Amino acid sequence: MRAQDLEYARTELRRALVDYSGKTKGQLEVLSENPPAEKSRLTRKPIHTVELNDGKGGKRKVRAENTAVYALETRSRRRPLPPISDEDFAASPWRRAVNQLSEHEQSWLRYCYGYDLDFRHQITLCEHVWREFQQCLPPGLIRKTQKRLSSLVWVAVQEIACSQSNSAFKKYAGALLASRLGVSRSTWSRIYAPHWKVLKTRVKRLDERAVNGALEKYIILLNE
């Protein structure tokens, strides 16, 4: 996949995954976020009954499962808002494409490009990156070194994610990372710096696979 195609996909993903929860909402969105529920203290009491003709000149009463729902929009308007905005509708193929990816790829796209700080995404990303990184570790590496390296997984995810959204982002200095691990700068340069580069490479590959996968799914959805 060309670099231009990946950058195009990143731009569209930022637009599709952005959170518009603070904007004025239409009635359909209000209903989706606040589903109807019976909140009386008699939960088994029928919500209401409806009278229907029994076909013999009489009437019979039927218990309805739900009451009529009334939801107010967040702003009074002379004309109602559309059920979904034009931007959300245009970006829906991208969101559908993201939903078809694996769990760790979805977590990466939602965290990196949708700025979703859900803790579940952080756990999924750290577990996946660490599993892949362990395949690159040399045999015989002491457990203490591995434990220190595991504490850098989330730092690597943050650095790559920030570099994708901010071209002026400065990489973490080796002295800062050495102080976080509690080792000297010489020890960092000799032992941990090579592993740090491999760790970031794994995160970059995750980004490329996730963005490329979303773009391929998006193209398939357009051709259906």
Per residue in 68-111, pLDDT tens? 555 555 555 566 666 777 778 888 899 999 999 999 999 999 99
Q: How many domains does the chain have?
A: 1
Q: Is 98 part of a structural domain of the chain? A: yes
Question: Which pLDDT score, from 0 to 100, does residue 89 have?
Answer: 82
0.75 cut: is pTM over it?
A: no
Q: Is 123 part of a structural domain of the chain? A: yes
pLDDT at 67 over 60: no
Q: Is 45 part of a structural domain of the chain? A: no
Q: Is 46 part of a structural domain of the chain? A: no
Over the chain, what is the mean pLDDT?
83
Between CA 60 and CA 52 the distance in angstroms is 5
pLDDT at 117 over 60: yes
Q: Is 160 part of a structural domain of the chain? A: yes
Q: Is 36 part of a structural domain of the chain? A: no
Q: Is 37 part of a structural domain of the chain? A: no
pLDDT at 210 over 80: yes
Residue 53: partners with Cβ closer than 8 Å, 6 or more residues away: 59, 60
Domain that holds residue 111: 3-18+84-223
Q: Which two tokens stand for residue 13?
A: 């993903």
CA 19, 13, 104 angle in degrees (round to 5)?
90
At residue 141 the predicted structure's pLDDT band, cuts being 50, 70 and 90, is confident
Q: Is 92 part of a structural domain of the chain? A: yes
* 3-state class (DSSP) for residue 92: helix
